[in-house]
Amino acid sequence: MSNQTRPDDIHAIELTLANGMTPEEMILRAYDGALVLVPPNKAGIELCEFARGLIEEAFAPYEPTTAQHHLTVDEFVERAGPVKPRFIHHPETRRLQKQYLAELGFDPDRTYLDVPRLRVASSDGYLTSGIGHAQPAHRDTWWSAPKQQIQFWTPVFEMSRYSCMEFFPYYRATPIANSSDNFNIYRWNATGRKNAANYRQGDDKRGIPQPTEDFAATGSVQVVLPVGSMVIFSADQLHATSKNTTGKTRFSIDFRIVDSEHVRDDIGAAMVDNHSTGTALRDFRRICDDTQLPAELIAQNDSGEISDDMVLVFKPEETPALEAAK
Supply the minimum distance, in Å, between the C-beta of residue 74 and Fe ion. Answer: 27
Q: Which stretch binds Fe ion (CB under 5 A): 29-37, 102-110, 115-123, 139-147?
A: 139-147
Q: Which stretch binds Fe ion (CB under 5 A): 83-91, 132-140, 193-201, 242-250?
A: 132-140
> Which strand ranges, in their side-by-side order, compose the sheet holding 239-241?
221-223, 165-167, 239-241
Residues in CB range of 3: below 8 A, 6 or more apart: 32
16 pairs with which residues across the strands? 36
Please answer whether residues 230 and 191 qualify as being in contact, where contact means their C-beta atoms are separated by less than 8 angstroms.
Answer: no
Supply the minimum distance, in Å, between the C-beta of residue 326 and Fe ion. Answer: 5
Closer to Fe ion by Cβ: residue 59 or 255: 255
Please answer whether residues 164 and 222 qualify as being in contact, where contact means their C-beta atoms are separated by less than 8 angstroms.
Answer: yes
The amino acid at 5:
T
Q: Which of 81, 119, 140, 183 binds Fe ion (CB under 5 A)?
A: 140
Closer to Fe ion by Cβ: residue 58 or 166: 166
CB atoms < 10 A from the CB of 304, how many? 15
Strands 239-241 and 250-259: unpaired
C-alpha to C-alpha distance for 296 and 316, rounded to whole angstroms: 25
Nearest to 95 by CA among 282, 230, 287, 255: 287
Closer to Fe ion by Cβ: residue 114 or 140: 140
Q: Which stretch binds Fe ion (CB under 5 A): 40-48, 63-71, 137-145, 217-225?
A: 137-145
Q: Which stretch binds Fe ion (CB under 5 A): 36-44, 69-77, 138-146, 267-275?
A: 138-146
Q: Which of 79, 110, 200, 326 binds Fe ion (CB under 5 A)?
A: 326
Q: How many residues bind Fe ion (CB under 5 A)?
A: 2
What is the Cα 274 distance to its own chain's centre?
A: 17
Closer to Fe ion by Cβ: residue 100 or 152: 152
Closer to Fe ion by Cβ: residue 149 or 184: 149
C-alpha to C-alpha distance for 246 and 126, rounded to whole angstroms: 12
Closer to Fe ion by Cβ: residue 59 or 204: 204
Contact residues for Fe ion (CB under 5 A)?
Answer: 140, 326
